[in-house]
Structure 1
């Protein structure tokens, strides 16, 4: 009888590690990372004997990696965020 009661109490105390606020920031971080990789695409050449300088433009060299790093930073923040502390 005592074991059944302990199981019921354990079920009542079950909580998720993350809450809605954490998942919101995680989705925002994933969006930043996805946009960064999308911006990094392209710039190749169909002919291997022809060099395409478009691969070295500002969007692929500066903007896309910056967005990816910002996205990873947002992901770290989302994991470390304690939503119950602000209540």
Structure 2
């Protein structure tokens, strides 16, 4: 046997993020998905008829705001220190 062989060490299986980080990440993803769902729709079945619902408050203001808030939650989740009590 080789005497220079190093003894076997258990590999450290620590994750980069903690449970709190992943919780905030899933919340952020849900808010982003909700924003995109609210943004969808508003089309017309007949291409010759204009549907003014495409310019309502939900699609122009609310949905993009939710997407931006969701991205803000994602940034917070990444920067959150999981070891801080």
Same fold at TM > 0.5 = yes
Is there any run of 5+ residues in structure 1 with no aligned partner, and where? Answer: none
Q: Which of 4, 7, 20 is 2:7 aligned to?
A: 4
Q: State how far apart, in whole Å, the 2-side matches of 1:63 and 1:4 are.
A: 59
**Superposed displacement of residue 15, structure 1:** 1.3
Matches of 1:35 and 1:51, distance apart in 2: 26
Q: Distance in 2 between matches of 1:72 and 1:46?
A: 33
Structure 1 or 2, whichever has the larger Rg, is 2
**1:16-62 deviation line (CA, Å, top 9, x unaligned):** 10010000000100010011011111100111111100000000000
- Please tell me the root mean square deviation across aligned C-alpha atoms, in Å: 1.4
Structure 2 portions without partners, runs of 5+: none
Task: Give 1:65 shift.
Answer: 0.3
For 1:30, the equivalent position in structure 2 comes to 29
Structure 1 or 2: more helix by fraction: 1
Give every structure 1 segment of 4 or more consecutive aligned residues whose post-TM-superposition deviation is greater than 3 Å: none
TM-score by length of 1: 0.86
The within-5 A match list for 1:23-62 is 23-62=22-61
